[in-house]
A = this chain, B = another copy of it.
Amino acid sequence: MPEDLNTGLLLFLPYRAMETRVLEELAAAGFDDLTPSQARVFQRIAPGGSRLSDLARQAGITKQSTGFLVDQLERLGYVRRVPDPDDGRARLVQIADRGRRGVEASRAVVARVEAEWEAHLGKRRMTQLRDILADLREITDPWR
């Protein structure tokens, strides 16, 4: 079949492959209580912690849904909430101990998958891919 897939779908396939691999290998490493939705929120927490609204915007879901998922992550020990020193209304969602270990484990999986992709594409094209995507981000990331 002559390939004429739209670029959106073409982007989706490797994205989904990466997500699946990370979740699978994380589960095998003992982090088997994470759901895809929880992970999608979790992965966006900034080093010093993030506000709920920011996480919601980045994940593209409502604050309510985000709160629902953060509650679960908190109960599972992946994150904690602390008051935001700069804003009395806000709280910061920070990565807790179990979360920290999860981040390390997932970083390893991501590196492995990226290495596989690079082995298939070649170093040069893998770099091109990342460059182009980073550039595209400027007009497709509603967040930053």
A136 touching B120 in the complex, CB below 8 Å, given contacts A8-B15, A14-B11, A129-B7: yes
Chain B residues near A132 (CB-CB < 8 A): 121, 125, 128-129, 132
Contact A10 B121 (CB under 8 A): no
Contact B116 A13 (CB under 8 A): no
How many copies of this protein are present in the complex?
A: 2
A82 within 8 A of B: no
Contact A133 B11 (CB under 8 A): yes
Q: Which residue of B lies closest to A111 (CB)?
A: B6
Partner of A120, one of B19, B110, B135, B141: B135
The 4 closest A-B pairs by CB, nearest first: A8-B18, A17-B140, A11-B15, A10-B133
| Interface residues of A, Cβ cutoff 8 Å to B | 3, 5-20, 22, 43, 60, 110, 113-114, 116-117, 120-121, 125, 128-130, 132-142
User: Given contacts A7-B117, A17-B141, A120-B136, could you give 11 more A-B pairs where the C-beta distance is less than 8 Å?
Assistant: A7-B133, A8-B19, A8-B110, A10-B130, A12-B15, A13-B133, A13-B141, A15-B15, A17-B142, A121-B132, A129-B132
